[in-house]
Amino acid sequence: MNKLKSLLIVFLLFISFIESQAQQSWDSTYRPAVYPLLVDQFKSFPKSSTDIVFLGNSITAGTDWNELLQLPQARNRGISGDITFGVLERLDDVITGKPKKIFILIGINDISRNIPDEIILHNYKTIVERIQKGSPKTKIYFQTLLPVNSTFDKFKNHYGKDEHILSVNEGIRKLTKEKGIQLIDLYPHFLDGDNRLKTALTHDGLHLRIEGYQLWAKILKDGGYL
C-alpha cells in the first residue's frame, strides 16, 4: 500500500512538473528593445478623432501608410517584434486619441514565441473590448494573420507553425462576428499554390516587399475600408 502511495505521489509530482514546464514555455513580458523608445514617441505625437491608426508589429511598421495610401490621416503604430501583450500595454495611448478607425494586425510573433492560441485570442478579445469601451465611436478593423514562407531561412521560429496561423485566423473570424466589428481577411490574398506566403511578395518569408504592401493597400481600397 505504501509503495502504491509513493508511486502516486511521484506521478502527481511528474504531472505538476510537466504542467509547470508548459506554463514556462512562453513569456508574456517580452518587449523588443525598441519598444520603450517608440512608445514614448507615440505618446508625444498629437492625436485627433480623424486619425486612422495602423496598429501592429513589424509587418505594420514596415511601410509609410501616408505615402502608400495617400492618406494624410494615417498613423503608423507598428513596433517591430511586438506581441499582443505589448499592444495591450500601449493601447491606452491609442484609445485616448479617440481615432476614427483602427486597423489591427498582430499575433505572428506570439505564435513564434509559442504563446498558446487561446491566449492570443483572449488578448484579441480584450483589445477589442477596451477600444469599444474607451472609444465607442472608433471603427475597428481586425485583419487575419498573413501566411509565412518556410523556403526562406531567416525566421525559423516563425516557420512550421501554419496550423497555429490557421487556428488564430479562424478565431479572428469568429471574434469579428461576435463583437460586430469589421473583418479584413488578408490571409487568402497572400497565399501561393503551396499554401505559403507568395515569394514575390516577401523578401525573407515573413516581411513584405513593396508588392505585398501594394496588394494590402488594394484590398483596403477595393473593400471600401478607408
- Of 181, 92, 190, the C-alpha closest to 146 is 190
Mean pLDDT of 38-66: 98
State the average pLDDT for the chain. 92
Q: Which three cell numbers stand for residue 70?
A: 495617400
Mean pLDDT of 164-173: 98
Q: Which CATH architecture has domain 32-222?
A: 3-Layer(aba) Sandwich (3.40)
- 117-134 and 84-96 helices cross at what angle (nearest 10)? 10
- Per the CB < 8 A criterion, the answer to whether 182 and 141 are in contact is yes
Cα(75)–Cα(202) distance, integer angstroms: 23
pTM score above 0.85: yes
The SS3 of residue 136 is coil
The SS3 of residue 55 is strand
pLDDT tens digits for 117-128? 999 999 999 999
pLDDT tens digits for 77-97? 999 999 999 999 999 999 999
Residue 17 has pLDDT above 50, yes or no: no
Mean pLDDT of 53-66: 98
